[in-house]
A and B are shown apart, each in its own frame.
Chain A
Amino acid sequence: MAERSFAREVQDLRLSAGQEFRGEGILAVTKALLQSGVGYVAGYQGAPISHLMDVLSDAQGILSDLGVHFEPSASEAAAASTLAASVMYPIRGAVTWKSTAGTNVASDALSNLASGGVTGGALIVIGEDYGEGSSIMQERTHAFAMKSQIWLMDPRPNLPSIVAAVEHGFALSEASNTPVMLEMRIRACHVHGSFICKDNVPPPFTLTQALENPVADVNRIVLPPASFQHEQDKIKRRWPAAVEYIRKHGLNETFSGDVEQIGIICQGGMYNGVMRALSLLDLADVWGNTRVPIYVLNVTYPLVDADLVAFCAGKQAVLIVEEGQPEFLEQALHGILRKADVNTRVYGKDVLPMAGEYTAAVVTEGVRKFVGASVPSLLTRTPPSAASVLADPRVKALAEVVPARPPSFCTGCPERPIFSAMSLVEKELGRHHIACDIGCHLFSINPPFNLGATTMGYGLGASSAAAFNVPASKRAISMMGDGGFWHNGLATGISNAVFNKSDSVVVVVDNHYSAATGGQDIPSSRALNPSRSTRHPIEEAVRGVGARWVRRVDRTYNVAKMRNVLKDALTTAEKGPKIIIAASECMLNRQRRERPLFLAAVKRGERRVKPKFGIDEDVCTGDHACIRLSGCPSLSVKRSADPLKQDPVATIDETCVGCGNCGEVAEAAVLCPSFYRADVVHNPNGIDRFLHRVRTAVIGALQRRRDGARIALA
């Protein structure tokens, strides 16, 4: 079960023709898939498209009513391979993942799929994780489209355009027998807007029909001589067919304007930014009217050469607004215009930056430079800018005080004690090479732990330590989450280490979910999921591929135990990979699961105990060693009211969930006796009350005796 419930949003998937859908962009895509008669959907979760997966997971009822098959794939490679169902059968299929990370993983299947081509529409919804908020390397999916001849749609970021792109995407795919990628930028995925719905359409040809009437054609399989024919077919038939469909249905849009000597060509996703830039220069308004003609590439690959030539011909200059690098579109435009002998000057990455996100400020500045260089008389207004504010010495002084806020482990996260333990081990055994993976545990590279050297990809933690399989006085440590483990870490990491007789230590963090992507279930999840098979222990899997030294810690909060197991793994004489499975439930999901139950039970009058941690202010000396070994958001500092304490003392705020890490760390690291756990017994029973009375009487008497004898200045 995912971190967020979409019970309400799921109801929106049932809306029928004429009704208005209001919500997030990525949910609009989900509804559009159903309106397009999709037969199956698969994918791998990850920001910014996790919500598409989560909402479909919560919508099993609607999907089965429609006859749509949905499955969360084991990886993006698995998701891309799922599209094989559309190769021979007229079934529309959609898959989704975050890109370019996921597209890298999916590439093998995508290349094969694109080579043989498809019969039913194959749509790949790409969450383009680029710019602010991105968690991955800054690359472009565009390159994958070009190398494999997959068409790439980049619709304007409003819900009607996005929904139309889904519908046309399937049709374009079918018209050209080619898979189509639909690129959704982060903000477009999360944009709140509305569109008018159509009825959902059950798939006209179903997977059941396909299974019962199998078809195969050796010419669609990538093996010589067919593979050579595929390449020719892509160029000679599929590409022209795609261009024809794009032209015929007007997928790219032209917005005319009276200043015809110049024009702007932009990716669909850049359109709103371009319009805002023009508005700020008094060259457009908020209702979509523009004085500078704009040609919007809702399909960025392939380009429609004739349209571009027609748009540019007769213009003195055009600006191409293309986010990301290298500048594929700009290069292509130069080639197209040169071949057509059109002399229009092309501006692009000369007035706009080559790399980095095209923010409102960047686009505005680029458009201003372009207009200023081509028709200076049009520049009558200086767009707003933060330059004068940023130059203010009072604002410059902020650089001294405003701290960075790198992402870190949540309050009560079970991964924190693993790294607390690792810090303690390093204090004893010295620094080690630590190979990291993708997942929440990667936050170990940030303060206060600062642990970790590299990350090579999802599930690749163990394999990224493969080279360090040589005799040395220290062993390499590698990390892997349970998400990465099932994604591919079992094969590329564990099995690889066993086969190559690696002597390294692998820590598999088993928090019961694919937590970083929003808490989706995976094979080792402990929850009983009615539609999936869960509860497959990681321990059995690693033993199954031949690992012998396997230790499982079932409560990672036991820092001392965690430290001892790590130390054991680093010092044992036993050969072969040392696998530690550190298992405790993701606190975010655990709280979501347990809190309502706790509150309900208390309300019913049942006895429940709620733990919370605290610090005795007068015992704390303000050294903050506890914080350096924890970094918990609820463990903070405050100024002491005691004039004799010069440094801030540690304090635990009300967000503490009572996980116990700070107490365990204080104990394991022999830090200080300031920490206490306060267990509040709700609805105490008779025994509780009796013991409480006795204890209060005895303790109270002793306290009064001593307090009475104590002399003090007050």
Chain B
Amino acid sequence: MDASALSYDRPFGIAILAMGGQGGGVLADWIVALAEGEGWIAQSTSVPGVAQRTGATIYYVELIRPREGASPVLSLMPVPGDVDVVIAAEMMEAGRAIQRGLVSPERTTFIASSHRAYAVTEKQKPGDGIADPTNVEVAARGVSARFYCADMQGIASQAGSVISASLFGALAASGALPFARERFEDTIRAAGVGVEGSLRAFAGGFDAVRTPNAAAAEAKTEAPSRVVGGTPAEQAELTRALARIDAEFPADGREMLRVGLARVVDYQDVAYGHEYLDRVARLPPDLAAEAAKQVAVALAYDDVVRVADLKTRGSRFARVRDEVAVRGGQILDTTEFMHPRVEEVCATLPAKWGAWIEGSPAAQKMLGLIFNRGRRVRTTTVVGFVQLWLVASLKPRRRTLLRHGREMAHVDAWLDLVARHAATDTGLALELLKCRRLVKGYSDTHARGQSKFDRVIAAADRLAARSDAADWIRRLRDAALADEDGATLDGALKTVATLETEPARERLPA
């Protein structure tokens, strides 16, 4: 034996990265069956372990043409930099494949599904924790020999199948394996489970690689501008409001103003729309675009009346039917999960009554006995529907309710603050507007958000003298969105407190 006696036959390596439950094992089995059917030798391995419970799993397959009288020694794991095909069943798993060194620019055909399955760490953030997959796509194109990427999950769902089938189709279309399309399809047929759906998904995956769609241009939704429904008087008033937008506000804010106007009119009435425009008009024109958004969110605060209104609309019924894919002959029964507390009951009473109950522990206790429990309302039954429908009919009287007075006082105090700082520091005023994002949720969550909002806003006067006040408010807002109980925000606020005494020793939290 010397160097010349060695064979240069090289096994063909395929690594599959999937999440538990995605059927990565099925795909590996299909590849093995396909290769064996074509007379090749195939070896596959996996390390499922606990990862099969929703974690990330890797499967590895090696294939080689047989040689008379010899058995191959195949690897049980991929060699970084030496893998022929890498298949990632989700976009971030594609990123993980690259991080593991499996993808190489010389060798690797890289097939990835562009869809996202968000990790818990992304989902649980009170703000926006979604990681940006752009980096993954850039890296994937940069470090692979060929990169095929499409929403394989979407293709599979549409075909009524699972992602392993569409990925198998993409593998066939990539041409990385020297087997005809029919052989791939025969493999699916031979496996005998959900054949029709799998073949449809296979074809979808195949086509997505062979004739990739130019990325569908993101449909830009036009801001609403058409007046529908209502009395002639209401219509005239709304048309006047639309005209006000064009007359009183700068061009860059008008689109968002129309969106905001549509929201607050839908929320309350046309007069409320004019109140909305009045409030935005209090601020300088260069803040109009942001104010249009934030003031609309503030005015359309989430109360019991709003929830009841949204949940009883015909359009909502249609949407639910669509989402759960109710087919002809089937009947849909919808149950809402609600838990109004005494606080919400008081908030929905006329201001005087509500305030009186809030001041009377006995009354609260009594109301608590009646109201403070989970309620399941079957909105597809007449009794359930009418309950919510009646709550929604409080809408015309909303201005007299306890909650409304408080919300408007809170909004106006905030806008006063913004207007005051806008005179000297537009950047700071803009950041203060954006802080409205902190107020969200219902009951305790709402109270927590409002308290974070108040604390961040309160820092404005202390910071106003600094040239970087806007940056600080932005940092405080990000800190407030980082966790639920506000620990990050507390830390950031402590830093802000030290700023005044020791301006030279800044510590930036973000």
Contacts and interface: CB of A to CB of B under 8 A. Distances in A.
A646 B128 contact: yes
B124 A624 contact: yes
Contacts of A132: 47, 58
Contact of B72 (A286, A647, A672): A286
A313 interface: no
Nearest to B74: A272
Interface in B153-177: 157
B101 A713 contact: no
How many residues of B sit at the interface, in one of the four size bands? 35 or more
A394 B142 contact: yes
B47 A186 contact: yes
Interface string A68-101: 0000000000000000000000000000000000
Contact of B73 (A286, A406, A688, A692): A286
Nearest to A703: B314
B323 A678 contact: yes
A184 B263 CA distance: 64
B56 interface: yes
Interface residues of A, number: 137
Interface in A603-631: 609, 612, 614, 616, 618-619, 621-625, 627-628, 631
Interface in B95-139: 95-96, 98-105, 107, 117-133, 135-136, 138-139
Interface string B72-87: 1111111111100000
A673 B228 contact: no
Contact of B382 (A129, A681, A695, A712): A695
B446 to A, nearest CB: 8
B455 interface: no
Interface string B15-57: 0000111000000010010001000001111111111111111
Contact of A625 (B19, B21, B36, B484): B484
A190 interface: yes
Contacts of A257: 1
Interface string A403-414: 111111110000
Contacts, number: 433
Contacts of B337: 663-664, 666-667, 673, 675-677
B487 interface: no
B254 interface: no
A684 B330 contact: yes
A711 B230 contact: yes
A677 B74 contact: no
Interface string B58-96: 100000100100111111111111100000000010011
B131 A616 contact: no
A609 B228 CA distance: 39
A446 to B, nearest CB: 7
Given A446-B120, A654-B157, A711-B229, A406 B135 contact: no
A448 interface: yes
B76 A187 contact: yes
Interface string B377-413: 0011110011001001000000000000000000000
A400 B326 CA distance: 41
Contacts of A646: 128, 437
Contact of A386 (B8, B81, B124, B386): B81
B449 A623 contact: yes
A573 interface: no
Contacts of B316: 616
Contacts of A359: 77
Contacts of B5: 289
A384 B82 contact: yes
Given A192-B43, A447-B121, A644-B293, A389 B75 contact: no
B190 to A, nearest CB: 13
Contacts of B374: 560, 667-668
Interface in B212-266: 221, 224-231, 234-235, 238, 242, 256, 258-263, 265-266
23 contacts: A132-B47, A133-B49, A158-B71, A289-B7, A390-B99, A394-B142, A397-B135, A397-B139, A402-B95, A402-B131, A407-B20, A407-B55, A619-B310, A627-B123, A637-B118, A644-B297, A671-B339, A672-B443, A678-B333, A680-B324, A704-B314, A706-B389, A713-B227
Given A448-B124, A643-B293, A673-B442, 16 more contacts: A48-B49, A186-B47, A187-B77, A190-B48, A192-B44, A256-B1, A276-B73, A287-B9, A360-B79, A407-B20, A407-B55, A448-B120, A636-B117, A672-B441, A681-B330, A695-B382
Interface of A: 22, 47-48, 129, 131-135, 157-158, 186-188, 190-193, 256-258, 271-273, 275-276, 280, 282, 284-291, 359-361, 364, 383-387, 389-390, 392, 394-395, 397-410, 440, 443, 446-448, 516, 560, 609, 612, 614, 616, 618-619, 621-625, 627-628, 631, 633, 635-637, 639, 641, 643-644, 646-648, 654, 663-664, 666-673, 675-684, 688-689, 692, 694-695, 698-700, 702-704, 706-714
